């Protein structure tokens, strides 16, 4: 007696491979690039402001009170650092689909067909829309857990139709 059911739907184990010649970036290197981007942003935006606040005595590290004025040099340095970080990041993403962390670790974002991803696609669909979706409870966790799927794409990659590959 046969164990196969002739009325069962066809089944296949389909694994979509990336475009020929492109190698998907590993999960670990993507995670490391994310951490590196956070460290770089901290160093460019918050660290100069924090140094100014501590050295001018506006923040006394021995007491928990903070005497901060919005027009201080620290705020200006933070703003300058943010603009510099934003400019550098936008330039690298527009040229190569890479943030600073991705560039250091030699990975980049491309469309799922291998073509370059535009700055607008990366900024609006991968970042801005994903940031808005972050208000949904547990969305950020689920988004990042999707990387453990066969295609190694987070939800923000699926939304933007992008993959992260070795540069």
> What is each CA distance from 158 to 62, 63, 144, in whole angstroms?
48, 47, 12
In a domain, 4, yes or no: no
In a domain, 60, yes or no: yes
pLDDT at 77: 85
In a domain, 160, yes or no: yes
Q: What is the pLDDT of residues 108-162, one digit of tens each?
A: 999 989 899 999 999 999 989 999 999 999 999 999 899 998 888 999 999 999 9
In a domain, 16, yes or no: no
Q: Tokens 């200006």 appear where?
A: 76
In a domain, 139, yes or no: yes
In a domain, 119, yes or no: yes
**Rounded to 5°, angle at Cα 28 from 23 and 31:** 110
In a domain, 21, yes or no: no
Q: Which domain holds residue 102?
A: 27-166
């Amino acid at each position: 007696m046969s164990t196969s059911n002739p009325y069962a739907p066809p089944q296949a184990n389909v694994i979509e491979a990336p475009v020929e010649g492109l190698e998907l970036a590993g999960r670990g290197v993507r995670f490391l690039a994310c951490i590196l981007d956070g460290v770089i942003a901290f160093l460019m935006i918050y660290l100069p402001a924090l140094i100014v606040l501590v050295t001018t005595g506006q923040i006394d590290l021995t007491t928990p009170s903070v005497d901060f004025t919005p027009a201080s040099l620290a705020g200006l340095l933070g703003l300058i650092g943010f603009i510099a970080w934003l400019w550098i990041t936008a330039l690298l993403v527009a040229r190569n689909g890479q943030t600073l962390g991705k560039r250091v670790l030699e990975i980049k974002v491309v469309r799922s067909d291998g073509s370059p991803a535009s700055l607008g696609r990366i900024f609006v669909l991968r970042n801005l829309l994903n940031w808005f979706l972050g208000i949904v409870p547990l969305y950020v966790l689920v988004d990042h857990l999707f990387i453990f799927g066969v295609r190694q794409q987070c939800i923000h990659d699926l939304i933007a139709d992008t993959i992260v590959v070795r540069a």
